[in-house]
């Protein structure tokens, strides 16, 4: 059975009839869901197939269904609203937790970006409490999924200060791969940044929890300072610690077409 639109007529985009107005504001249902901040577009497809999405109180399972102006989209009893997509870059300081809430009343990064926008944004990935540097926050569920999924191998660059100089032997071990409790990990690149060998730069694409710290801890080092200086091509250049800025249009385009 063809799903009827709320007017009682077939959706003109699915019946092959062109709309009279040249300025259509219709949108694919999965994109609408993603832009509501609920989830990624692929996850939205799953919700649609599972019959968990309603348009105007009627279940829609048709892939490619188009939402029209005035339509109301529901996930369960929750009314979804397409939001303006927002992209905020934060230079995270120490002692802030990368989460939207904290039951122990610790400081979170959301306090630092409270005045950035009216939309509900959330961190893309995590930085632990004592790690500083580049952190992206957005309500773009599709982009967030893309940047955190292991298959996309998003590059991150860190600057590290150790409690003691790294030995050449350990540097070679890290280059070849270090075995941790959850499997072997290899960095993409590593180099010392000072003659003594206490400061290093590391490029890695793994998103495993506390992965950089754990690499060095496995070899007997303490990480004194850990600063993420680049994430998916974004840097904190000219952005003071604890401050944020909106991404430029060209930066957003690069992220969306990042492969």
Rounded distance, CA 128 to CA 98, Å? 7
Rounded distance, CA 59 to CA 73, Å? 10
Kindly state the DSSP code that residue 5 receives in the 8-state scheme. Answer: P
- Condensed to tens digits (0 to 9), the pLDDT of residues 43-72 reads 899 999 999 999 999 999 999 999 998 999
Q: Mean pLDDT in the chain?
A: 88
Token representation of residue 148? 């955190």
Rounded distance, CA 171 to CA 216, Å? 10
pLDDT at 10 over 80: no
Rounded distance, CA 68 to CA 134, Å? 38
- Condensed to tens digits (0 to 9), the pLDDT of residues 235-245 reads 999 999 999 99
Q: In the chain, what are the helix, strand and coil shares in percent, each to the nearest 5?
A: 25, 30, 50
Banded pLDDT at 20 (limits 50, 70, 90): very low
Name all domains of the chain by residue range, CATH numbers in brackets: 12-80 (3.10.290.10), 87-150+234-256 (3.30.70.580), 155-231 (3.30.2350.10)
Per-residue pLDDT at 24? 52
Rounded distance, CA 76 to CA 247, Å? 33
- Condensed to tens digits (0 to 9), the pLDDT of residues 163-218 reads 999 999 999 999 999 999 999 999 999 999 999 999 999 999 998 889 999 999 99
pLDDT at 12 over 50: no
- Condensed to tens digits (0 to 9), the pLDDT of residues 139-150 reads 888 899 889 988
Rounded distance, CA 48 to CA 41, Å? 10
Sign of torsion, CA 227 231 233 235?
negative
- Condensed to tens digits (0 to 9), the pLDDT of residues 92-140 reads 999 999 988 888 889 999 999 999 998 889 999 999 999 999 999 998 8
Active site (catalytic) residues = 128
| pTM score | 0.76
Phi, psi of 118 (to 5 degrees): -90, -20
Q: Which long-range contacts (CB under 8 A, 24 or more apart) does 232-235 make?
A: 232/136, 232/147, 232/154, 232/155, 232/156, 232/258, 233/155, 233/258, 234/89, 234/134, 234/136, 235/134
């Amino acid at each position: 059975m063809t799903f009827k639109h709320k007017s009682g007529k077939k959706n003109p985009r699915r019946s092959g009839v062109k709309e009279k107005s040249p300025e259509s504001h219709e949108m694919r249902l999965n994109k609408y869901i993603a832009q509501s901040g609920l989830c990624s577009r692929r996850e939205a497809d799953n919700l649609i197939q599972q019959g968990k999405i309603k348009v105007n109180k009627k279940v829609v399972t048709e892939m490619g269904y188009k939402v029209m102006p005035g339509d109301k989209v529901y996930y369960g009893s929750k009314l979804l609203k397409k939001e303006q997509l927002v992209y905020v870059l934060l230079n995270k300081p120490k002692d802030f937790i990368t989460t939207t809430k904290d039951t122990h009343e610790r400081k979170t990064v959301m306090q630092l970006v409270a005045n950035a926008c009216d939309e509900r944004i959330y961190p893309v990935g995590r930085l632990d409490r004592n790690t500083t540097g580049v952190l992206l926050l957005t309500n773009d569920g599709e982009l967030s999924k893309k940047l955190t999924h292991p298959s996309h191998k998003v590059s991150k660059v860190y600057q590290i200060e150790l409690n003691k100089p790294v030995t050449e032997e350990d540097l070679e071990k890290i280059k070849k791969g270090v075995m941790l409790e959850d499997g072997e990990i290899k960095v993409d690149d590593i180099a010392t940044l000072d003659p003594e060998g206490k400061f290093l730069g590391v490029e890695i694409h793994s998103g495993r929890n506390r992965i950089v710290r754990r690499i060095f801890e496995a070899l007997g080092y303490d990480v004194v300072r850990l600063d993420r200086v680049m994430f998916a091509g974004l840097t904190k250049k000219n952005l003071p610690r604890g401050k944020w800025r909106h991404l430029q249009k060209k930066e957003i385009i690069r992220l969306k077409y990042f492969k």
